[in-house]
Amino acid sequence: MSDVASQYTIGVDQVEAFQFRVQFDKPQYGQWMLDEPPPLGQDTAPGAGRVLAAAIGDCLSASFVFAAKKNGLEIAGLHADVTVEIVRNERRRFRIGRILVALNPNVSEADAARAAAAAEVFEDFCTITASVRQGIPVEVSVKGAVPSGASL
């Protein structure tokens, strides 16, 4: 991978049980609440899988709009449906097995050729989807969980 172009840090704090508050790096973004569905949480807010689905749907939508504009096409609205399939792995742990995204841009028939040109290239502009597809290295440390001098 190449050099770091930018970096940001968000905070995630447990509120209670499986409810967490997300504090973004910019005050104008406010806070989000996250929760897990039963039997763990109370399903009072979306969980991480839904946030990932929203991120993928948003990034692909924005990338399509960007590619359309580069092809001289103004989109009169766009809707995306993001379907997440949850599967169990060989250890019976839940994992996201597949994510299906259907984009429905509001494009006139006269603009179909420019929309098709955008559809050929837009995925390459989507940072989130491309990163998920490649597998993002995630380094995890748990402070205070390892005795001094030991390593995980």
Q: Give the model's pLDDT for residue 83.
A: 97
Which whole-number Å values give the CA distances from 151 to 88, 135, 140, 146, in the listed order?
30, 25, 12, 7
**Residue 130 confidence (pLDDT) above 80:** yes
Range 24-37 average pLDDT:
96
Q: Give the model's pLDDT for residue 144.
A: 84
- Contact 65/75 with Cβ under 8 angstroms? yes
Domain 47-134 listed as CATH 3.40.1160.10: no
- Contact 127/136 with Cβ under 8 angstroms? no
Range 28-57 average pLDDT:
96
**Residue 41 confidence (pLDDT) above 70:** yes
Domain ranges within the chain, ordered by starting residue: 7-45, 47-134
Range 125-129 average pLDDT:
95
**Residue 114 confidence (pLDDT) above 70:** yes
Q: Give the model's pLDDT for residue 2.
A: 76
Q: Give the model's pLDDT for residue 145.
A: 79
